[in-house]
């Protein structure tokens, strides 16, 4: 009579740190839905603007860029074609791809400390309103003023040409919004607000901080996951201290230039 042989139970396989890290990297890659060729085009455009490749000089060969970005040759060529269509690059068969010109400054948003300098650059933005309800009222600090009785919420993606330039989340005093709802749908809200308030503008505050693109931002602004962004918050109150406007904006960091006039050096007594 044969005796049954008891086999030792298999020990569960534990995932090491390397496996967890690989899984995290895979999940991050799955979330990164921005086409690879757009990511590469953005990186190349930035390098041209920073002067890494001078006008009239060749950029790195496709084979070198393919290895650097770990992308297929056709993907790199697609990115280069985008910059050729923008007039930044020109390919010469047999000799490579050359810088034709620098990126135009009108791609950049110059953030200044005066009304005219702030509104003029964004006046021409094309708005695409986004669906979905937002917060009923904005967060208003004691130093910013008193909240209005009610607010209208506007969320939009702003474009310059075909390029998404800014994600805007705006609260406008509901009483002001009712005066010109069509204008607020078609134009930048801050410009419409200043037209409606006129001389009743009391004070305004604007703050900035550097952030990074999350999964929602990377899809809307065509950014790589984790790419640097500039987040701006603008608060406008009337002369009575009522906050009539709160705008929160997110821009790709490489499209923003700060231009702030500084006071002269202190005088010595």
Q: Is the pLDDT of residue 38 over 90?
A: no
Alpha helix locations (H) across 187-254? Answer: 189-197, 215-220
Please, which pLDDT band fits residue 146 given cuts at 50, 70 and 90?
very high
Please, which pLDDT band fits residue 30 given cuts at 50, 70 and 90?
very low
Whether CATH 3.40.1410.10 fits 106-258 = yes
**For residue 261, what pLDDT is reported?**
64
Mean pLDDT along residues 252-258:
75
Please, which pLDDT band fits residue 19 given cuts at 50, 70 and 90?
very low
Query: CA–CA separation, 52 vs 102, rounded Å?
Result: 11
210 Cβ neighbours under 8 A, 6+ residues apart: 228, 229, 230, 231, 253
Q: What is the CA radius of gyration of the chain?
A: 26
**For residue 180, what pLDDT is reported?**
94
Query: CA–CA separation, 98 vs 106, rounded Å?
Result: 22
Fold of 34-99: Arc Repressor Mutant, subunit A (1.10.10)
Mean pLDDT is highest, among 51-55, 132-136, 175-179, 226-230, for 175-179
* CB distance 257 to 108 below 8 Å: yes
Strand 109-111 and strand 256-258: the pairing is parallel
Query: CA–CA separation, 98 vs 27, rounded Å?
Result: 37
User: What's the distance, CA 109 to chain centroid?
Assistant: 11
Query: CA–CA separation, 116 vs 166, rounded Å?
Result: 19
Across the chain, mean pLDDT equals: 80
Domain boundaries, the chain: 34-99, 106-258
Percent of the chain predicted with pLDDT > 90: 36
Please, which pLDDT band fits residue 159 given cuts at 50, 70 and 90?
confident
The tokens describing 217, both together, are 């931002």
Which of 16-30, 197-211, 217-231 shows the lowest mean pLDDT across its residues?
16-30
- Each residue of 72-122: pLDDT tens digit? 999 999 999 989 988 899 999 888 999 998 876 545 566 666 666 667 767
- Helices 189-197 & 115-123 angle (0-180, nearest 10): 130
**For residue 105, what pLDDT is reported?**
57
**For residue 221, what pLDDT is reported?**
87
Mean pLDDT along residues 30-51:
76
* CB distance 52 to 46 below 8 Å: no
Q: Is the pLDDT of residue 28 over 80?
A: no
- Each residue of 220-249: pLDDT tens digit? 888 777 778 889 899 999 999 999 999 999
Mean pLDDT along residues 8-27:
42
Residue by residue, DSSP assigns 128-144 as EE--S---SS----TTT
């Amino acid at each position: 009579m044969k005796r049954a042989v008891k086999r030792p139970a298999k020990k569960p396989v534990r995932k090491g740190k390397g496996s967890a890290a690989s899984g995290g990297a895979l999940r991050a890659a799955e979330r990164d839905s921005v086409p690879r060729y757009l990511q590469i085009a953005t990186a190349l455009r930035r390098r041209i603007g920073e002067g890494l490749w001078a006008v009239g000089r060749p950029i790195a060969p496709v084979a070198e860029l393919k290895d650097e970005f770990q992308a297929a040759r056709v993907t790199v060529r697609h990115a280069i074609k985008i910059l050729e269509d923008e007039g930044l690059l020109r390919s010469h068969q047999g000799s490579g791809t050359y810088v034709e010109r620098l990126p135009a400054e009108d791609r950049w948003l110059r953030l200044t400390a005066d009304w005219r300098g702030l509104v003029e650059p964004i006046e021409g933005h094309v708005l695409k309103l986004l669906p979905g309800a937002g917060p009923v009222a904005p967060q208003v600090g004691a130093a910013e003023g008193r909240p209005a009785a009610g607010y209208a919420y506007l969320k939009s993606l702003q474009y310059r040409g075909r390029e998404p330039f800014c994600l805007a989340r705006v609260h406008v005093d509901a009483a002001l919004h009712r005066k010109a709802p069509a204008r607020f749908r078609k134009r930048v809200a801050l410009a419409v607000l200043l037209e409606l308030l006129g001389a009743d503008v009391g004070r305004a505050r604007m703050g900035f901080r550097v952030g990074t693109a999350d999964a929602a931002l990377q899809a809307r602004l065509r950014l790589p996951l984790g790419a640097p962004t500039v987040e701006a918050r603008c608060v406008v109150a009337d002369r009575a201290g009522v906050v009539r406007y709160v705008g929160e904006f997110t821009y790709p960091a490489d499209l923003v230039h700060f231009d702030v006039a500084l006071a002269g050096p202190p005088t010595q007594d």
